[in-house]
Chains A and B, each alone.
Chain A
Amino acid sequence: MLVYTAKRLVLALLVAFTISVLSFSLLFLAGDPAAAIAGETATDQEIERIRTMFGFDRPIWLQYLEWVSRAIQGDFGRSYYFGMPVTELILSRIPVTLTLAGSAMAFALVVGIPMGVIAALYPNSIIDRIALTIAVCGQALPSFWFALMLIVLFGFMIPILPPSGSDSWQHFILPTIVLGYYATPSLMRLTRTGMLEVLSADYIRTARAKGLFPRTVLFKHALRNAVIPVVSVAAVEFGFMLGGSIVIETVFALHGTGYLAWESIRRADFPTVQALILVFSLFYVVLTFVSDLLNAWLDPRIRVA
């Protein structure tokens, strides 16, 4: 387990490094960031001034080193638009996004896993079909459109929920459903296939041959093994949810990091965009790292090797 953890950690660090390079260099894709900041109407002199002011005239690798060494210390520079430290800005927005993604994940797990289990217990039954239909529709539903429809429905036609904003917990209900629904199908399908596979395993027959209660067979022997792959996918989905939060937060005007990303992209606020890409990616790296460990811990074949 120790060797395993160490290996995973090295991999995670390598990925983090690569991503920091990528997210830094991404902004030079446009060619000249100084021109982009200055805007279309700027004169050559103005652009030149901005270039020296932000240090864009120095070699790129030097800029990267400086950026990354500051970033490690938690300093991502100042936001061009908001005029405050990027770190502070992001930290102030993170709770909203984490609340949203967390509750959406909980929603997806609470809906997806039981539905997957039931679908696997009664394959081809009505429940299985309903679950499958929900899954297929979920994959085809554009989240921003679904969000708008829910806003029309519950924000205005049957006005029981606030349509936008992030002031109270009620504001999180609709976004949670939209974002959670998005992750439900894959969790459900995975639980279903996992359960079907596990239920036909020899050790389930052994458990039944011992005369164990059906619930013991189901929860202790089957589910435990079936959810192992679900755990890692749930972690991955959680990462995707953070990405998806950009769309959802924009539609619902939830002032989290996703909304911040959209705002700063529209305003060519480079330091904030760079920082956000790095933070989102690192979050994903950490998540997969944790889920790998969790997986190993759930599976004694890896844990006790």
Chain B
Amino acid sequence: MSRILEVENLRVDIPLESGTLHAVRDISFHVDKGETLCIVGESGCGKSLTSLALMGLLPTKAIRTANRLSLGGRDLKTLNETQMADIRGSRMAMIFQEPMTSLNPAYTIGNQLAEAMLRHRKVNPNEARERAIYLLEKVGITAAASRLGQYPHQLSGGLRQRVMIAMALMCGPDMILADEPTTALDVTIQAQILHLLANLQKEFEMGLVLITHDLGIVARVAHRVAVMYAGQIVEEGTVEDIFRRPMHPYTQGLLRCIPIPGKTARGAHLGSIPGMVPSLIGDLKGCAFANRCPHAFSDCNTTDVALRDASGGQRYRCLLSQEAATQNAREAATA
């Protein structure tokens, strides 16, 4: 397996009037060729900023730091804006949450599909057009050639998101980042789009980072899962391990909110865990999850918690031993 994306100690800080907001705190992960990594977590835990940080599209005031940030062996940290732009849309593409507003209303679909390819590859408009038609068909749009002349407002949300996917694929990227690509769509269309994405990813052997709230989808398409909480990755592992043996109390809480695997309803959302997310401004002391954790004990408020390894490459950020955590997982599953 070849590593496509490697991230080590990525941080995103946003200076605000009331202090620095540490939105992403030292997260590390990697994605292999043909692999899907799902990032799940509550709203505001830093998922979008993580993906934007990888693309170099953070808001101007946000500061990105990382020990390692590489795409296909190329160090992204040292690239300037122009070099980064050479990579965006070419080697790494992104699909956004809002299909309704993510396309420019003033230009045709064809125009917007072709422009990335005309920018990055030595092709003429005709070749770009051919590729656009090919990809529109790939993403399941009928009468592709005639769609090229249409404007975004003439398409439904589902169709627009398919167009966005085709647009991301135009240059044949190694890596796709999809930030909640289906949240704005109807439930039935959500599943279609995600399956489409998963199939295309398999077919083109790309790496895929899929940010989602939908655990049903995670179970179906992910190879590995990273659970984020308050800017940190609190647990990471293969999809089987995470679902069968969640070590972190937060993951256990998330999973308790969905019914038994197999009967998981399509579009089941993360349930709510009582309590409030800590403020991301300033440093955290102890475990970030301590105020909501059912297993918290006194050390949790004082000791900083590092990610620890469990068997099978699974990692979790909790003071509880592997045995205790496994025990909790079992209880949680039977509860």
A interface residues, Cβ below 8 angstroms from B: 201-203, 205-214, 216, 220-221, 224-225, 298-301, 304
Q: Of the 9-residue stretches B67-75, B99-107, B250-258, B309-317, which lies at the interface with chain A?
A: B99-107
Contact yes or no, B85 A206, CB < 8 A: no
Q: Within 8 Å CB of B102, what residues of A?
A: 202-203, 205-206
B153 within 8 A of A: yes
Contact yes or no, A209 B103, CB < 8 A: no
A120 to chain B, nearest CB (A): 13
* Cβ-closest chain A residue relative to B108: A300
A202: contacting residue among B81, B96, B153, CB under 8 A: B96
Interface residues on B, range: 20 to 34
Contact yes or no, A211 B154, CB < 8 A: no
Contact yes or no, A211 B88, CB < 8 A: yes
Contact yes or no, A225 B106, CB < 8 A: yes
Q: Within 8 Å CB of A221, what residues of B?
A: 104, 106-107
A216: contacting residue among B84, B88, B119, B120, CB under 8 A: B119
A155 to B167, CA, bound (A): 60
B36 within 8 A of A: no
B115 to chain A, nearest CB (A): 6
Question: Per-residue CB proximity of B78-115 to A under 8 Å, as 1/0?
Answer: 00010011111110011010100111111110000001
Q: Number of residue pairs across A and B with beta carbons under 8 Å?
A: 82
A203 to B112, CA, bound (A): 10
A304 to B149, CA, bound (A): 11
B55: contacting residue among A209, A216, A304, CB under 8 A: A209
Contact yes or no, A205 B57, CB < 8 A: yes
B151 within 8 A of A: yes
Q: Which 7 residue pairs are nearest across A and B when measured between Cβ atoms?
A: A211-B88, A210-B89, A211-B89, A210-B116, A202-B101, A203-B104, A300-B151
A298 to B116, CA, bound (A): 23
Asked whether A213 and B119 contact (CB < 8 A) given A202-B98, A205-B57, the answer is: yes
Identify which of residues 100-140 in chain B touch chain A, using a CB-to-CB cut-off of 8 Å: 101-108, 115-116, 119-120
Q: Given contacts A201-B101, A208-B85, list 4 more A-B pairs with CB under 8 A.
A: A205-B96, A209-B88, A210-B88, A300-B153
Q: Within 8 Å CB of A202, what residues of B?
A: 96, 98, 101-102
A220 to B119, CA, bound (A): 13
Contact yes or no, A212 B103, CB < 8 A: no
Q: Within 8 Å CB of A201, what residues of B?
A: 101
Q: Within 8 Å CB of A224, what residues of B?
A: 106
Q: Within 8 Å CB of B55, what residues of A?
A: 209
B91 to chain A, nearest CB (A): 9
A210 to B93, CA, bound (A): 7
30 contacts between A and B (CB under 8 A): A201-B101, A202-B98, A202-B101, A202-B102, A205-B57, A205-B96, A206-B96, A206-B167, A207-B104, A209-B88, A209-B89, A209-B94, A210-B93, A211-B86, A211-B89, A211-B90, A212-B85, A212-B116, A213-B85, A213-B119, A216-B115, A216-B119, A221-B104, A221-B106, A221-B107, A225-B104, A225-B105, A299-B105, A300-B151, A304-B150
A208 to B119, CA, bound (A): 12
A304 to B153, CA, bound (A): 9
Q: Within 8 Å CB of A206, what residues of B?
A: 96, 102-104, 164, 167
A126 to chain B, nearest CB (A): 17
A97 to B58, CA, bound (A): 51
Q: Which of A202, A210, A214 has the most CB of B within 10 A?
A: A210
A300 to B57, CA, bound (A): 28
Q: Within 8 Å CB of A220, what residues of B?
A: 107
A221 to B167, CA, bound (A): 16
A300 to B120, CA, bound (A): 27
A210 to B85, CA, bound (A): 8
* Cβ-closest chain B residue relative to A209: B94
B117 to chain A, nearest CB (A): 9
A62 to chain B, nearest CB (A): 52
Asked whether A211 and B105 contact (CB < 8 A) given A301-B153, A304-B151, A304-B154, the answer is: no
Contact yes or no, A211 B85, CB < 8 A: yes
Q: Within 8 Å CB of A210, what residues of B?
A: 88-89, 93, 115-116, 119, 167
A299 to B105, CA, bound (A): 8
A44 to chain B, nearest CB (A): 68
Q: Which of B104, B151, B154, B167 has the most CB of A within 10 A?
A: B104
* Cβ-closest chain A residue relative to B99: A202
Contact yes or no, B151 A203, CB < 8 A: no
* Cβ-closest chain B residue relative to A225: B106
* Cβ-closest chain A residue relative to B150: A304
A301 to B106, CA, bound (A): 8
Question: Per-residue CB proximity of B44-77 to A under 8 Å, as 1/0?
Answer: 0000000000010100000000000000000000
Identify which of residues 273-311 in chain B touch chain A, using a CB-to-CB cut-off of 8 Å: none
B61 to chain A, nearest CB (A): 12
Asked whether A298 and B167 contact (CB < 8 A) given A209-B93, A216-B119, the answer is: no
A201 to B119, CA, bound (A): 21
Q: Within 8 Å CB of A211, what residues of B?
A: 84-90, 116, 119-120
* Cβ-closest chain A residue relative to B177: A209
A203: contacting residue among B93, B103, B154, CB under 8 A: B103
A300 to B105, CA, bound (A): 7
A96 to B18, CA, bound (A): 59
A205 to B52, CA, bound (A): 10
Q: Within 8 Å CB of B150, what residues of A?
A: 304
